[in-house]
Structure 1
Amino acid sequence: MSVPNKFSMKFSAQSCNEAFARMVVASFAASLDPTIEELEEMKTAVSEAVTNCIIHAYHSDATKEIQMNGIAEDGKLTIEIIDEGAGIEDTELARTPLFTTKPDEERSGMGFTIMENFMDHFELVSTVGGGTKLTMMKRIASKKALFN
C-alpha cells in the first residue's frame, strides 16, 4: 500500500481561476499516468464544478474563495470542490439534466450531468446558506493493462 499524494488549496472565486484549477488537477493527475481522454474528462468536471461555485454559490463575488483538495491513491484521483456560498435547496432537482436557476444567463443546466458522466463517483452535499461540498473520483486505467 502506497502513501497517498495530496494537495489542498484555496483560490479566489474569479472566472480566470477556472483554467488555473484545470491545470492544477491536470498536473497533479499526471503522476497517475492518465490517458488524454481521462485527463480531459477530469479537467472538464473540475471546470464545471468551479464555474458552479463562481456563478451559483457566490453569484460572481470575486472576494469569496473556493477550496480544492485532491488525493491520488491506488490508481484513482479524488477531487473535492468546496464553497461556503448559497447552497443548493434541492440537490436532486439540481442534478436533473437541463435544470438551471439562471436561464436568463444562458446556462445549459448540464454541469452536474457532465461531472457525473465524466467521473466514476460523484457525491454532492449542500446546505442552504452553508455551502456545498462536491466529491468526484476517477479511476485511472493502467496503460500497462491496455497494451498487455
Structure 2
Amino acid sequence: MRLKMNRMTLKIDAKSENEAFVRTAVAAFMLQIDPSVEELSDVKTAVSEAVTNAVVHAYPEEKGVITVECETDENYIKISISDDGVGIADTEKALEPYFTTKPCEERAGLGFTIIRSFMDEFELISSFGVGTKIVMKKYVA
C-alpha cells in the first residue's frame, strides 16, 4: 500500500558538490511511492539538470541558496527547485533547445529540454533579477 501525501524540503548552498546529494535525497524520498527503475532514473536526471542549472546560472557573482521542495502522493512526485538568483530575462528563449547564456563554458543548452523530456509536467517561473523556480511532476504507474 502506498502512503498518502508526504513532503520534504531541503535548503542547500548553490555548489556543484551538492547536486549529487539532492539527486540521492529526492530518489530516496520517491521510493515510498514505489516507482519503476525507469521512473526513478527519469526523476534523478531531471533533478540533476535543474540543480545544475541553478548552480551554474543563478548566482554568477556570489554563492546563494537553492531550495528543493518535494511532495508525493499515491501516484506522483512533484518537485520544485528554486533560487533567489539573477532570474531569466526571456523564459521562452531559455526553453529553446541549445540556447545557452554561457557558450564559452561549452554548455549544451539542453537542460530544460532534458527535464521536459523526462518529466510528465514542467513549469518554469522566473523574473529577471528576482530568481527562478522550476516545478516538475512525474506520475508513477
**Normalising to structure 2: TM-score of the pair?**
0.95
Report which of the two structures shows the higher radius of gyration computed on alpha carbons.
1
Identity %: 50
Offset at residue 9 of structure 1 (A) = 1.4
> Scaled by the length of structure 1, what TM-score is found?
0.91
CA distance in 1, matches of 2:50, 2:59: 13
- Residue 16 of structure 1 aligns to a residue whose secondary structure is helix
> Which residue of 2 is the match for residue 75 of structure 1?
75
Structure 1, gaps ≥5 residues long:
142-148
- How many residue pairs get matched? 139
Q: Name the structure 2 match of 1:65.
A: 65
Aligned ranges 1:1-148 → 2 under 5 Å: 3-59=4-60, 61=62, 63-141=63-141
Q: CA deviation at 1:58?
A: 1.1
| Displaced runs of 4 or more, over 3 A | none
RMSD: 1.1
Aligned partners of 1:56, 1:16: CA distance in 2, in Å? 15
1:70-121 Cα distance to aligned partner (Å, 9 max, x none): 0001310000001000000010110000100001001000000000010000
